[in-house]
């Protein structure tokens, strides 16, 4: 599988990636998206696609991937376990250049047993504002960001597109994709991330669009932490950490 340069430029623009000769760490995830969907949509797959909640993701970049390299991608599911709110499983993806494993990810998904609890747009805010640690940045997320990311990722889940379509699934407004949040975070950290690293994120409260977001991060020589908060610091949207491999 080769990279479409036009699609890559569009993707980089949406997530703020500025290393033009190197694939952003989350781009392989969207390259693998059709394969992941074919797996989930198989008749033998035990869960329906609608109702799945992406709760965490780990990406391991074993080395930088040049934009001209051809990738072979493999996808499989694992770790089906009972969860207090339903069932949890992992979608695993691996990318190879020839026989060399260069990238892998694990996306943990939750199927909630009660449909009405799928939407997390009404989760209570924290009682006291959080004090972000480390450096901070303020980001403005446009109303059409979900639609723009859908165009470059292929993920047209209705909860990301318009307020009306999101309300069908219990959200007050449409929300941004969790993997946009991770991609944007890693773009902001691109100058401190080593060539080989592992990045873990947990998706907390969804980000209702449009939004004003605070991104905080602190890095040491071989590791770092990062988070996303609402502008009033009363809701945490994402937590993550990275470490050198």
Whether the Cβ atoms of residue 94 and residue 73 lie closer than 8 Å to each other:
yes
Please name the residues in contact with 27: beta carbons below 8 A apart, sequence gap of 6 or more: 3, 8, 11, 17, 183
CATH classification at residue 224: 3.10.129.10
**Residue 148 domain flag:** yes
**pLDDT, one tens digit for every residue, the chain (245 residues):** 888 889 999 999 999 999 989 999 999 999 998 888 888 777 777 666 666 788 999 999 999 999 999 999 999 988 777 766 667 889 999 999 999 999 999 999 887 665 444 444 445 555 677 888 889 999 999 999 999 999 999 989 899 999 999 998 888 999 999 999 999 999 999 999 999 999 999 999 999 999 999 999 999 889 999 999 999 998 999 999 999 99
pLDDT at 109 (0 to 100): 86
pLDDT at 127 (0 to 100): 66
**Residue 59 domain flag:** yes
**Residue 100 domain flag:** yes
pLDDT at 118 (0 to 100): 42
**Residue 82 domain flag:** yes
Beta strands in 12-71 (DSSP E): 52-61
**Residue 12 domain flag:** yes
Helix (H) or strand (E) holding 229: strand 223-230
Whether the Cβ atoms of residue 188 and residue 16 lie closer than 8 Å to each other:
yes
Q: Which domain holds residue 208?
A: 5-118+128-244
* Overall domain count for the chain: 1
The 10s digit of each residue's pLDDT in 82-118 is 766 667 889 999 999 999 999 999 999 887 665 444 4
CA distance 186 to 245: 16
**Residue 194 domain flag:** yes
pLDDT at 124 (0 to 100): 54
The 10s digit of each residue's pLDDT in 157-180 is 899 999 999 998 888 999 999 999
**Residue 123 domain flag:** no
**Residue 189 domain flag:** yes
pLDDT at 116 (0 to 100): 45
């Amino acid at each position: 599988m080769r990279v479409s340069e036009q699609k890559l430029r569009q993707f980089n623009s949406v997530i703020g990636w500025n290393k033009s000769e190197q694939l952003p760490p989350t781009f392989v995830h969207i390259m693998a998206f059709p394969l992941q969907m074919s797996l989930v949509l198989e008749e033998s797959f035990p869960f329906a696609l609608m109702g799945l909640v992406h709760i965490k993701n780990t990406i391991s970049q074993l080395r930088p991937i040049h934009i001209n390299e051809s990738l072979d991608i493999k996808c499989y599911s694992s770790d089906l376990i009972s969860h207090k709110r339903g069932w949890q499983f992992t979608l695993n993806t691996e990318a190879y250049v020839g026989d060399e494993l260069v990238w892998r990810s694990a996306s943990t998904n939750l199927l909630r047993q009660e449909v009405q609890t799928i939407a997390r747009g009404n989760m209570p805010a924290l009682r006291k504002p959080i004090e972000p640690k480390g450096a901070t940045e303020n980001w403005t997320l446009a109303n059409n960001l979900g639609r723009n990311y859908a165009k470059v990722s292929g993920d047209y889940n209705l909860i990301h597109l318009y307020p009306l379509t999101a309300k069908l699934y219990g959200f007050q407004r449409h929300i941004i994709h969790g993997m946009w949040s991770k991609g944007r975070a890693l773009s902001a950290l691109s100058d401190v991330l080593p060539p080989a690293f592992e990045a873990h994120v947990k998706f907390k409260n969804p980000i209702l669009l449009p939004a004003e977001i605070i991104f905080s991060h602190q890095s040491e020589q071989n590791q770092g932490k990062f988070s996303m908060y609402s502008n009033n610091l009363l809701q945490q949207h994402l937590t993550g950490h990275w470490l050198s491999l």
